[in-house]
Structure 1
Amino acid sequence: MTNQSPESNDRVLNHLIEGYRRFRGTGWSANRARWDELGQGQSPEVMVIACSDSRVDPSQIFDVDPGTIFVVRNVAALVPPFETTPGHHGVSAALEFAVQVLKVKEVVVMGHGLCGGCKAALTQDLKDAEIGHGGFVADWISMLDEARVPVAHEHGTTGRTAERAMEQAAVKVSLDNLMTFPCVQSKVGKGELTLRGAFFAISDGVLHLLDETSGEFAPVE
Structure 2
Amino acid sequence: MEHAKSLPKYLVQRYQGWKATDYAENAAWYRRLATEGQRPRAMVISCCDSRVHVTSIFGADTGEFFIHRNIANLVPPYAPDGDHHGTSAAVEYAVTALKVAHLIVLGHSQCGGVQGCIDMCNGKAPELEKPNSFVGRWMDILRPGYDAIKDAPEGEAQARALEKRSVVISLENLMTFPFVEERVKSGALSLHGLWTGIGEGALEEYNPASDQFRPVG
Q: TM-score, structure 2 length as denominator?
A: 0.91
Q: Name 1:37's counterpart in structure 2.
A: 32
Superposed CA offset, 1:173-197 (max 9, x none): 0000000000000000000000000
Deviation of the 1:22 alpha carbon: 1.8
SS in 2 for 1:218: strand
Deviation of the 1:146 alpha carbon: 1.0
| 1:27 and 2:25 matched | no
Q: Name 1:172's counterpart in structure 2.
A: 168
| 1:129 and 2:130 matched | yes
Q: Name 2:138's counterpart in structure 1.
A: 140
| 1:186 and 2:167 matched | no
Superposed CA offset, 1:123-163 (max 9, x none): 212442363xxx1100001111111012112x14x311110
Q: Is the 8 A contact 2:44 2:66 kept in 1?
A: yes
SS in 1 for 2:8: helix
Q: 1:48 aligns with which of 44, 54, 63?
A: 44
Amino acid at match of 2:81: T
Instruction: Work out the number of aligned pairs and report it.
Output: 207
| 1:68 and 2:64 matched | yes
* Identity value in percent: 37
Q: Is the 8 A contact 2:183 2:189 kept in 1?
A: yes
SS in 2 for 1:111: strand
Deviation of the 1:37 alpha carbon: 1.1
Q: 2:150 aligns with which of 135, 152, 165?
A: 152
Once residues 131 and 93 of structure 2 are traced to their aligned partners in structure 1, the CA distance between those partners, rounded to angstroms, is 33
Once residues 161 and 182 of structure 2 are traced to their aligned partners in structure 1, the CA distance between those partners, rounded to angstroms, is 30
Q: 1:195 aligns with which of 191, 198, 207?
A: 191
Q: Which runs of 5+ in 2 are unaligned?
A: none
SS in 2 for 1:39: helix
Q: Is the 8 A contact 2:45 2:69 kept in 1?
A: yes
Q: 1:95 aligns with which of 91, 97, 107?
A: 91
Superposition CA RMSD, Å: 1.5
Once residues 51 and 109 of structure 2 are traced to their aligned partners in structure 1, the CA distance between those partners, rounded to angstroms, is 10
Q: Is the 8 A contact 2:47 2:73 kept in 1?
A: yes
Q: Is the 8 A contact 2:131 2:137 kept in 1?
A: no
Amino acid at match of 2:94: A
| 1:212 and 2:205 matched | no
Amino acid at match of 2:69: R
Q: TM-score, structure 1 length as denominator?
A: 0.89
Q: Name 1:15's counterpart in structure 2.
A: 10
Deviation of the 1:97 alpha carbon: 0.6
Structure 1 runs of 4+ off > 3 angstroms?
Answer: none
